[in-house]
Amino acid sequence: MHAFSRGTTSATAVAVPPSLALPVIEDAFPRRLHPYWPRLQENTRRWLLEKRLMPPDKVREYADNLCYTDLMAGYYLGAPDDVLQAIADYSAWFFVWDDRHDRDIVHGRSEDWRRLRQRLHTALDAPGDHLHHQDALVAAFADSVLRLYAFLPPTWNQRFARHFHEVIEAYDREFGNRVAGRVPGVEEYLALRRLTFAHWIWTDLLEASARCQLPDAVRKNPAFRRAALLSQEFAAWYNDLCSLPKEIAGDEVHNLGISLITHSGLTLEEAVAELRRRIENCIAEFIEAEREAMEFARELDDGTMRGKELSAAVRTCVGNMRNWFSTVYWFHHESGRYMVDTWEDRSTPPYVNNEAAGEK
């Protein structure tokens, strides 16, 4: 299914503000959606309700317009339907978790966050034991992880768990920074962002979508790894560019633009220009890395069945790294998550489940 600059939930063409427009993405990175997307959206909406991650009124009013399933359906093309569904549900959970983390900070719930952090670590290692946990966020996490663990060998599961343990700890460092009002330096921020954006989680899931666990020699090949990193860096930095107004309004300290303003002495306008420069360089570098990674994929096909399988899997993974650029780009202009100017309170997302998070 091919998609253009029209929202998946609306027939209206998406207007991209000039300050956020990237013509190279619109022209050279065609957008596509997995044909399962309509059912994916319906099933994830149902899953959010079943797992009590959002109350019915929030799901009814906001779930589709948040476009979480659009993001995944534009990334993991070629994935079997059940794999894509598990990834999409996990992604929706991730966004809800991110919102809980934010609300715990805003309301000073340090003990609640400490408890949740430990529960997630425990559930990650034994998801089957946490499917009926009293905290709906933990139970839903266990459900999504258990489903993801069913697709590839235990060694992949162990790697996924190792990577997500690191993500949880990075969120904890973010928590401490925000409570203290501490803006990390630019290099510190970039390293932290690779974890809080879960760079290697989304890259791991490329293998699940290709139904092929890649051996270390393939995953760590410089061409493959560089293409993977650049695709994720683009997503993280473009997210920072688009969410800068939202995060300034919410007294955030984790944004590349905020680090540049605080530690490099840039004005807001200069920080935005620097963000755009980095993003545009990232796109150009990816195009070169993509070419090298595809050449590596061709070299893997040595005439054996295993070589042919690995070559096809790498081509699929690299092709989906390219898809990440367009799906991330359009997501930021279609999702209600970034339409701060339409919120009643620019610091409080209207889709947040305040009651379940313990807010008064």
Same domain for 146 and 75, yes or no, is yes
pLDDT for residue 280 = 97
What is the residue range of 207's domain?
186-339
> End of a domain among 151, 166, 196?
151
Domains held by the chain: number: 2
Q: What is the Cα gyration radius of the chain?
A: 20
CB 237 within 8 A of CB 209: no
Same domain for 210 and 306, yes or no, is yes
> End of a domain among 108, 127, 151?
151
Same domain for 141 and 250, yes or no, is no
Same domain for 126 and 201, yes or no, is no
pLDDT for residue 354 = 59
Same domain for 216 and 312, yes or no, is yes
pLDDT for residue 8 = 57
Rounded to an integer, what distance in angstroms lies between the CA atom of residue 336 and that of residue 235? Answer: 17
CB 227 within 8 A of CB 203: no
Q: Along the chain (360 residues), what's the average pLDDT of each consecutive run of 10 residues? A: 44 78 96 96 97 94 94 98 98 97 93 98 98 98 98 98 98 96 96 97 98 97 98 97 81 91 93 96 98 98 96 98 98 88 77 55
Same domain for 90 and 193, yes or no, is no
Residue 23 lies in a domain: no
Tell me the two tokens of residue 244: 């800068």
Residue 7 lies in a domain: no
Backbone angles phi, psi at 109, to 5 degrees: -90, 65
pLDDT for residue 272 = 93
Residue 77 lies in a domain: yes
For 243-267, how does the pLDDT look when each residue is reduced to its tens digit (9 = 90+)? 887 787 777 899 999 999 999 999 9
Tell me the two tokens of residue 219: 């995953």
* 183-to-172, 266, 283 alpha-carbon distances in Å: 15, 14, 27
Same domain for 195 and 269, yes or no, is yes
pLDDT for residue 301 = 96
Residue at 175: amino acid letter: F
Tell me the two tokens of residue 328: 């991330």
Residue 14 lies in a domain: no
pLDDT for residue 125 = 96
Same domain for 236 and 291, yes or no, is yes
Same domain for 116 and 54, yes or no, is yes
Residue 159 lies in a domain: no
pTM of the model: 0.94
Residue 119 lies in a domain: yes
Same domain for 229 and 115, yes or no, is no
CB 88 within 8 A of CB 144: no
Q: List CB contacts of 221: < 8 A, sequence separation 6 or more.
A: 293, 296
Same domain for 86 and 212, yes or no, is no
Residue 12 lies in a domain: no
pLDDT for residue 65 = 94
Residue 311 lies in a domain: yes
Catalytically active residues are 94-95, 197, 337
Q: Which CATH number is 214's domain given?
A: 1.10.600.10
Same domain for 144 and 234, yes or no, is no
